[in-house]
């Protein structure tokens, strides 16, 4: 995992001098004519954000997630701590550190906002005290958000009790974490958020707006099965989407009867194809093509046939982070 640490931008510094090194970094940047905060107020830090890169993370993926954190921090200024565990399980306690920062213009020309990043590369032997080091790196009196990315074991991540117990939100992505991650007994399961669910916000809004034009009783009248066909690239999103549909449909059905709801893989065609099967001639079909950015509705709930074409997309990664953190 040192390859990831080496690939991330920043200046390597002694672990015991991280805060001093951040101050020196900004002073050196200003001396060279670069953008640097004129005061602590310019940083306008709103949150603490810990990005934990699991052992299943490749170098390319790590760089991409780091850039997501950078773009996110431009909208929500934050102190970001990036954890990079070493791949070998050596008992030797070793921690390396980097610092990185950047400034950008806010809503006006004189509105400069600067964010700071600390990268910590740690060995297995250092795991027991790495959370103490993280706590030292965080800004005081600000909420903490924790994103565990591509970890290999829910049980091993569960050992990070300070992060899991202190975070206002714990972010996971069901597309890239172990299958038990969303059902694992986390210390505070109520704060766990799935980034796959957050990415689906535009899809959920589109489906919800269309179906809300009809009386719930008409939508569930005669409904026998819900099938969502999907491409492999959006398997996690399809599972989440079907779960999102399940609760209200069953709640509206007679006596809360359970519906047959299934997902099916498809190798070609559109990204999503959602079908409601009825015993009384009613009809509902929605298709969404994420490549083309287009979707289509066909429905007849006994009041006449309706068709509608709309746009469709998933949230960008940085927007999904904001959705999962704050909403």
pLDDT number for residue 200: 98
pLDDT number for residue 312: 97
Token pair, residue 308, equals 């509608």
Quote the Cα angle for 137-143-144, to 5°: 55
> pLDDT digit string (tens) for 306-321?
999 999 999 999 999 9
> pLDDT digit string (tens) for 144-179?
999 999 999 999 999 999 999 999 999 999 999 999
- Give Cβ neighbours of residue 106 (< 8 Å, ≥ 6 apart): 112, 113
Give CA–CA dist 200/216, Å, rounded. Answer: 22
Among the listed residues 58, 62, 66, the one whose alpha carbon sits nearest the alpha carbon of residue 118: 66
Give CA–CA dist 148/187, Å, rounded. Answer: 14
pLDDT number for residue 113: 74
Share of the chain above pLDDT 70, in %: 93
pLDDT number for residue 184: 97
**Beta-bridge mates of residue 294:** 289, 311
pLDDT number for residue 315: 98
Give the pLDDT band of residue 39 (cuts 50, 70, 90): low
pLDDT number for residue 43: 56
Give CA–CA dist 220/216, Å, rounded. Answer: 6
- Is 77's pLDDT higher than 70? yes
Contact in structure between 225 and 261 (CB atoms under 8 Å): yes
pTM over the 0.85 mark:
yes
Between residues 272 and 40, the one the model is more confident about: 272
Give the pLDDT band of residue 256 (cuts 50, 70, 90): low
- Is 2's pLDDT higher than 80? yes
């Amino acid at each position: 995992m040192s390859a990831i640490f080496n690939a991330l931008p920043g200046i390597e510094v002694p672990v015991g001098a991280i805060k001093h090194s951040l101050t020196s970094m900004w002073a050196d940047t200003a001396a060279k004519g670069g953008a640097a905060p004129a005061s602590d107020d310019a940083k306008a830090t709103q949150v603490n954000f810990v990005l934990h890169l699991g052992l299943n993370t490749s170098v390319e993926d790590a760089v991409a997630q780091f850039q997501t954190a950078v773009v996110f921090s431009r909208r929500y200024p934050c102190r970001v701590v990036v954890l990079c565990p070493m791949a070998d399980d050596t008992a030797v306690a070793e921690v390396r550190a980097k610092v990185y920062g950047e400034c950008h213009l806010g809503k006006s020309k004189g509105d400069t906002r600067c964010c700071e990043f600390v990268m910590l590369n740690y060995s297995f032997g250092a795991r027991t005290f790495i959370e103490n080091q993280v706590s030292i790196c965080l800004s005081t009196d600000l909420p903490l958000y924790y994103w565990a990315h591509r970890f290999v074991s829910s049980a091993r991540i569960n050992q990070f009790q300070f992060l899991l117990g202190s975070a206002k939100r714990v972010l996971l992505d069901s597309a890239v974490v172990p299958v038990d991650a969303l059902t694992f007994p986390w210390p505070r399961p109520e704060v766990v958020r799935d980034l796959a669910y957050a990415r689906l916000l535009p899809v959920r809004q589109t489906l919800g707006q269309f179906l809300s034009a009809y009386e719930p009783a008409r939508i569930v009248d005669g409904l026998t099965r819900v099938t969502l066909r999907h491409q492999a690239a959006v398997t996690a999103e399809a599972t989440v989407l079907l779960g999102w549909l399940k609760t209200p449909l069953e709640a509206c059905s007679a006596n809360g009867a359970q519906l047959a709801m299934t997902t099916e893989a498809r190798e070609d065609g559109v990204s999503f194809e959602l079908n409601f099967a009825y015993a009384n001639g009613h009809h509902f079909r929605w298709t969404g093509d994420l490549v083309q950015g287009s979707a289509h509705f066909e429905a007849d709930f006994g009041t006449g046939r309706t068709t509608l074409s709309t746009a469709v997309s998933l949230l960008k990664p940085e927007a999904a982070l904001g959705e999962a953190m704050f909403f």
